Amino acid sequence: MTMTSLQETDVLSSVQPITVHVITIGRLASEACAVNMSPWKVCVPGERLCSTEVCKAGSGTYIRHSFIFASLAGYVVKKNEGEELPVISVARETEAQLLPDVNAIVTCKVTSINSRFAKVHILYVGSTPLKNKFRGTIRKEDVRATEKDKVEIYKCFRPGDIVLAKVISLGDVQSNYLLTTAENELGVVVAHSEAGVQMVPISWCEMQCPRTHAKEFRKVARVQPEYLMP
Amino acid sequence: MPVDTKRLRGPEESQSPWLFVEQEQQSPPDEREDGRRKGQVDVRPIFARCGLVSQAKGSAYIESGKTKVICSVYGPRETERKDETDMKFGRLVCTFRFAPFSCAKRCGWIQSTQEKDLSMALLGSLHPGLCLHRYPRSQIDVSVLVLENDGSALAHAVTCASLALADAGIEMYDLVLGCSLRQEGSDYLLDPTFAEETQEPATESTENRGGMMVALLPSLNQVSGLLCSGDLEQQPLVEAVAACIEGCQRIYSVAQRCLLTAVKKKNPPPDG
């Protein structure tokens, strides 16, 4: 393994241009960075960062032949997290495109409902906005944890509601992402009444319109205080 | 003395213009039209920039001689068509187009079969370089537009597309660099111009004449794509591949510097 890595280094160092007139400074990326006196090392995909004996691979990296390589173009960040080895990762300010993953908490908007499921558009993964919309489905039996058979979708969601949900599966060929709201912290966070006013939650299954005082049924989320905006 | 004010008068002393014509220099027999040498790893100077197309997730522009290529990357977004492989791996979709005004002969808007073939070759070359397992159920679109075709369009499209992918923050095992070559008998022309790609051969024999494009993952030193046409014997073929690989390594530092500038321009250094 070390042999391979040595050969790779040889190849890299033999890149020094001889006749090409474009390349004025034929250094490797790391050296070029040092010239600019920036304290942050910038790397390009495929650059070898270090051995797995020195660091643990974080996001934006991959391991090959027991060496850690960068898989993104960005800044190299080394963090000590109290464990034996520091974690090395590659950071871009614009977060690496997140995709909804199993057990991720997502924020979505209900687009349509029927008696069996509600269709949603996933807008956020955690607190990161998605650039493109991903479609998801909340099935009737995944709406709440208790009395699953008595759930009626139209008493839980309405189109336009903003819902916190958790991804339970990426779905198969036919279906989209499958989501669940079967936890106290999950469910509708923002809903508008028929009068068009944002409603206030009054219990875990009801919301009230501040203007008309009409009550509507929703599967309300008990939003954890740390997620509320100050 | 009457002076003709309507005309410019010539200088009092004059010389024949032929005195100023440069004497035609005897060019060495292995010199190409643009001054490069045959049989040497001599790529045209490259200009590369990232992040021109603001609507796209990532984009790149590459100029080499008169060949100009622009590429934009969209996604990852939800797949339109679904089958079993999409569940675990992302789908890469490549579109290679010549702009109507890019070639000597104006080409149509409808994608021609040549463009479809080149799209497939581009897809094949980029595919091994990407970490598609990080993008299950999603699709990454790469569209390449050749603005001016002065030879080696596919090779530069490969380089340009990989720069755009890196600019878009798509996880990759390595950059993918492309280099092409034209074999003429015992000589090869690296990074050929359009004229060199299409010129009529000097001799009648069809032996050892052909074109080649190699896509390389430079820091892993692996060939990810090889496209060869024509009639090549083993020895020239091996030499041609080696020359192309060296040509790719030559443009590696340009690609690196382009990405480094793009990263620094786009993102300030992280805190802490």
B247 alpha-carbon distance from chain centroid: 12
Q: Tell me: the pLDDT tens digits for B166-214?
A: 999 899 999 999 999 999 888 889 999 998 888 877 666 777 788 999 9
Which chain A residue has the Cα nearest residue B37? Answer: A19
**pLDDT digit string, tens, across residues A139-190:** 998 888 888 888 899 889 999 999 999 999 887 767 788 999 998 889 999 9
Our count of domains for chain B comes to: 1
Please list every residue in chain B whose beta carbon sits closer than 8 Å to the beta carbon of residue A87.
Answer: none
- Does A11 contact chain B (CB < 8 Å)? yes
Separation CA B263–CA B272 (nearest Å): 18
What is the nearest CA distance from A73 to chain B, expressed in angstroms?
Answer: 6
Looking at the predicted structure, is the pLDDT value of residue B16 above 60?
Answer: yes
Measure in Å the smallest separation between the Cα of B188 and chain A Cα atoms. 17
Tell me the C-alpha distance between A153 and A162, whole Å.
Answer: 15
Task: Give the whole-angstrom CA distance, residue B10 versus residue A14.
Answer: 60
Supply φ then ψ for residue B255, to 5 degrees. Answer: -60, -45
CA distances, A112 to each of A158, A159, B82, B201 (Å): 7, 5, 22, 66
pLDDT at B88 exceeding the cut of 70 = yes
Distance from CA of A182 to the nearest CA of B (A): 24
CA dihedral A48→A50→A52→A58, nearest 10 degrees, is -80
Cβ-in-10-Å burial (0-12, 13-18, 19+) of A123 comes to middle
> pLDDT tens, B61-81?
999 999 999 999 998 888 776
Contact map slice: A 166-195 vs B, CB within 8 A: 170-174, 177
Residue B77 lies in a domain: yes
Q: Which of A80-89, B42-51, B151-160, B248-257 has the lowest mean pLDDT?
A: A80-89
For chain A, the residue count is: 230
Mutating which of B62, B156, B176, B219 best tests the A interface, going by the most A Cβ atoms within 10 A?
A: B219
Say yes or no to pLDDT of A11 above 70.
no
Domains with residue ranges and CATH for chain A: 25-91 (2.40.50.100), 98-227 (2.40.50.140)
CA distance B145 to chain A (A): 23
Q: Is residue B262 part of a domain?
A: yes
Closest CB to B175: pick one of A25, A44, A134: A44
- Contact criterion met (CB < 8 Å) for A71 and B172: yes
**CA neighbor of B188 nearest in space, from B26, B28, B27, B32:** B32
- By DSSP bridging, strand A128-139 and strand A177-180 are parallel
Residue B133 lies in a domain: yes
Compare all CA atoms of chain A with the CA of B90 and give the residue at the minimum distance.
A99
Q: What is the pLDDT of residue B272?
A: 45
What proportion of chain B, given as a percentage, has pLDDT over 70? Answer: 93
Question: What pLDDT score was predicted for residue A9?
Answer: 41
Cα three-residue angle B196-B199-B202, rounded to 5 degrees: 110
Please classify residue B165 by burial: count the beta carbons closer than 10 Å to its beta carbon, then call 0-12 exposed, 13-18 middle and 19+ buried: buried
A22 part of contact set with chain B, CB < 8 Å: yes
Tell whether the model's pLDDT for residue B84 goes beyond 70: no
Torsion, Cα B27 B29 B30 B34, to 10 degrees, reads 40
| Euclidean distance between CA atoms B121 and B132, whole angstroms | 18
- Mark yes or no for CB contact B219/A46 under 8 Å: yes
Tokens describing residue B87:
């569940």
Percent with pLDDT over 90 in chain A: 24
- Nearest Cα to B149, choosing from B105, B188, B111, B113? B105
Confidence (pLDDT) at A25: 37
**What's the token pair of residue A10?**
């040889």
In a domain, B23, yes or no: no
Interchain contact, B252 vs A15, CB within 8 Å: yes
Question: What pLDDT score was predicted for residue B93?
Answer: 93
Cα-trace Rg, chain B: 23
Which residue in A230, A180, A150, A60 sits closest to B134, CA to CA?
A: A60
Q: How confident is the model at residue A96 (pLDDT cuts 50, 70, 90)?
A: low
Nearest CB to B171: which of A40, A72, A135?
A: A72
φ and ψ of A105, to 5 deg:
-90, 125
The parent domain of residue B53 ranges over 37-266
CB-nearest partner of A26 from B46, B84, B253: B253
Q: How confident is the model at residue A93 (pLDDT cuts 50, 70, 90)?
A: low
pTM, 2 dp: 0.77
Question: Quick check: A23 pLDDT over 60?
Answer: no
Question: Number of CB pairs < 8 Å for A and B?
Answer: 154
Does the residue B28 lie in any domain?
no
Strands (E), chain A: 42-43, 48-51, 56-57, 61-64, 67-70, 74-79, 87-91, 105-113, 117-125, 128-139, 162-169, 177-180, 187-190, 200-203, 206-208, 215-217
Most A-contacting residue of B64, B88, B191, B250 (CB-CB within 10 A), to test interface: B250
| Closest Cα in chain A, distance from residue B106 (Å) | 31
pLDDT at A22: 38
The answer to whether residue B194 sits within a structural domain is yes
Rounded to an integer, the average pLDDT of B140-158 is: 94
Given a contact cutoff of 8 angstroms between Cβ atoms, the answer to whether B151 and B145 are in contact is no
CATH number of the domain to which B246 belongs: 3.30.230.70
CA atoms within 13 A on the CB side of B242: 8
Q: What does the pLDDT average to over A90-104? A: 74
Mean local confidence (pLDDT), B81-110 = 84
A109, A123 in Cβ contact below 8 A? Answer: yes
Residue B65 lies in a domain: yes
B160 occurs within a structural domain = yes
Q: b/e map of B36-62 (b: 16 or more CB within 10 Å)?
A: bebeebbbbebebbbbebeebbbbbbb
